[in-house]
Amino acid sequence: MNKNLLTRIRNFILLLTVQVFVFSRIHLFGYATACIYLIFILKQPRHTKTSELLIWGFLSGLIVDMFNNTPGVHAAAATAMCFARNPILAIFTHKGMADDFIPGVKNIKWGGYMVYSALCIAIFYTLLFMLELFTFSYPSILILCILSSTMLTMLFVAVIELFSSKGQRQ
């Protein structure tokens, strides 16, 4: 088996395990929930085909749904995020970049990486909470949930990226 594939599978299992047993149990002020398993999708190589991303996204969302007893909302939201990921990533890359780079601060700098991550994560949470609440009766609660969860997840994305980029430099 390819070493790269084994690393991806390890990261997939690690992030999902931490998500299911730690982060899914934390709801900050009743509105914000961090979904760190999205980092796995954000950090896939640039050349990853959309169909492969859709499979990874659906599987990761389905696993989280099974453990959280939610009827497919994570699977749907993660799949939608995967569908939008490559076009969003294309905004922050230029034609001279290698096809096999992994998105991160090393390649697209902090500003670009954080905006790319924020857009993808905002798409995920918008769909997740729209499906979960299934009503527009309380738009302020919907917007509060989307923004607070996006910011909390972005905090963890930044921290993990900071530690992983420091580890790569050494």
What is the band of 75 on the pLDDT scale with cuts at 50, 70, 90? very high
Q: Which one has a higher pLDDT value, 37 or 98?
A: 37
Give residue-wise pLDDT tens across range 8-20: 899 999 999 999 9
Rounded to the nearest 10°, the torsion over CA 9, 15, 16, 18 is 140
* Span 134-149, average pLDDT: 88
Task: Return the axis-axis angle of helices 139-169 and 105-133, rounded to nearest 10°.
Answer: 150
- Give the separation between CA 76 and CA 97, rounded to whole angstroms: 31
- pLDDT of 29 reads 86
Give residue-wise pLDDT tens across range 99-108: 678 888 888 8
Please determine, for residue 56, whether its predicted confidence score (pLDDT) is greater than 60: yes
Counting residues of the chain whose pLDDT is more than 70, the rounded percentage is: 95
How far apart, in Å, are the Cα atoms of 103 and each of 12, 42, 48, 73, 124? 16, 7, 11, 26, 18
- Give the separation between CA 26 and CA 33, rounded to whole angstroms: 6
Give residue-wise pLDDT tens across range 111-120: 999 999 999 9
Nearest to 78 by CA among 39, 25, 105: 39
Answer for the pair 149, 118: CB distance below 8 angstroms, yes or no. no
Total count of domains within the chain: 1
What is the band of 28 on the pLDDT scale with cuts at 50, 70, 90? confident
- pLDDT of 100 reads 74
Expressed as residue numbers, the domain containing 7 is 3-169
Query: Which residues on neighbouring strands pair with residue 32, listed in sequence order?
Result: 28
pTM summary value = 0.91
Answer for the pair 63, 19: CB distance below 8 angstroms, yes or no. no
- pLDDT of 104 reads 85
77: CB partners within 8 A, 6+ apart: 61, 124, 125, 127, 128, 131
Answer for the pair 52, 85: CB distance below 8 angstroms, yes or no. no
Please determine, for residue 166, whether its predicted confidence score (pLDDT) is greater than 70: no
Please determine, for residue 136, whether its predicted confidence score (pLDDT) is greater than 80: no
- Give the separation between CA 120 and CA 140, rounded to whole angstroms: 21
